[in-house]
Structure 1
Amino acid sequence: MGFPQVLVLGASGRIGQVLRHCWPKTADLCWQTRRAPRPDGTGQGWCGFDPLADPEALVAAAQGRQAILCLAGSIPGRGGALADNIDLGEATVRAAAGTGAQVFLTSSAAVYGDQSGLLEEAATLRPTAPYGVSKAEMERRAAELGAELGVGVCALRLGNIAGLDAILGGWRPGFQLDVFDDGTTPRRSYIGPQTLARTLAQILTRLMSVQDLPPVLNIAQPGPVEMAQLLQAADLEYGLRPAPPSAIAEVTMDTSRLSELLSQEDPMTAANSTHMVAEWRRLEQKMIKEPPLV
């Protein structure tokens, strides 16, 4: 089964960088960016437009595509409006209507909020931060619009991505971690960047001919990762500070549905701090040499 024809929205972001370095160079992919596209010498196509300001360009880019993967969105601290997450989800679904393309929207484990135990996709959403609220609303409205327009929509709830996260990726000298009364630091569902790329490729390939997409998939490696262990594996120094009352000790997603979907020849391995740090460092050397988009 060949790699599907995919339109990737928000391809100039960090996840987009990872996918561009890991996905097949021969695949028929269209990488969208709001900046002017530049040739990259690989034959992979770029398209430049703003999905919200130019919906006609988005519809045109969706033509002939089997799937649209929306990585585009706003995150805290980057100056964008979090409401854009909702608008981008709906715009993606509208663009897919009538093309036969399936829609995969990147969501977040933040939609679960502060809940204990293993969080399966059917769990009640209780986001505590504005970002999680915006992603939960994006999921809800995109699903409703997809049902109305006959578009298959799957929300991909991403765990933390090693190297693209606020801990390993956001480390600076003097970095401090929250520590709880039991001596542990926050625990989260994580996935290595190369593992993420392989996982998304498998999902898109295996689901491109499925009539009924799973409405939601948790995307992470099995088992939580303690943030202190991740920094130790990367040999990065850090301090400890008492966790504030608002700090969430653990967010662990149930990945059994994802494991059932993936190929048995390339199954999902358990989260391992050392392995994820190694994945990130292999990719980081390639990514920092990539010339910026103009």
Structure 2
Amino acid sequence: MTPTAGTAETRTSGSGPDAVVGNGRPETSSDGAARRVPAPGGRARGARTIIVTGLLTIVALYFLVPVYWVVVAASKTTDDLFGTHGFLFAENVALFSNLAQVLSFDGGVFIRWLGNSLLYAGVGSLIATYLAAAAGYALSKYMFRGRNLIFGLVLGGVLVPGTATALPLFLLFSQMGMVNTYWSVLIPSLVSPFGLFLCRIYADATVDPSLVEAARLDGLGEIRIFHLIGLRIMVPALVTVFLFQLVGIWNNYFLPLVMLTDDRLFPITLGLNHWRSQTDRLPEFYELTTGGVLLSVIPLAIAMIVLQRFWRGGLTEGAVK
């Protein structure tokens, strides 16, 4: 039976060994060799992959090049820092001597600044993440009057920059006698409007109401349900909130600048700026500043490497049909 137009059978164009199969399936030429013609759209997908890979490479270089420059700058003396190419190592690498000088200068004040930053960022991030998780879970799973109004106010808080609230906070803490103390920097770091917003959205999507109801039927109280079920399912969101809060507090400069005058309470950002301000009259402070910047990046890099595995979806996601 001769195939007619419109049938599902394969047709070829041309003749001989160069004939091309119309639907991209294997074709056997006159010499018996099988050839596969690429399916339509394969080249387009390959081009898109190349473009996306190229863009991601550019973005990665955008973030990695400054880190590379910091490593190179921290390995140079002051003379080499201005006398050699900025992205090339000098003949005499002074990285370890510079870092040792940073850690020992002025009785180890840099170590104290590093400890202050770990206190502000570590404690502040942990408490802020827990409070954001509790508030987001409550807004997601409990129905009460004014719930949407509270959530709207939280969204408004996300739009307010931290610099706009620094002066009102200073006036408030000055009346309370808490200026120039650890509390003046730590307490404002305990609230994360963005973290509350993210936890509420994530709880809506992952914490199934049937799991909560089953836990209630088993006799668990609301606090235990939140800690045993809610927190475990929300781990990826909690890690995201923690890292955002950690980086934000670690890099915070304006709030400590307004609140603190005692250099023993400085975080690492304020301390490094204090060193940089002295480079005009004491050029050796360039070595201290560049070495300190390199050391200040290490804790954030460690936190990112250690916590990135928790971004994977929780094992309980999808457990309820």
Instruction: Identify the TM-score tier after normalising by the shorter chain.
Output: under 0.3
Select the structure that is richer in strand.
Answer: 1
How does the TM-score come out when normalised to structure 1?
0.21
TM-score (norm. length: structure 2)? 0.20
Q: Which has the higher helix share?
A: 2
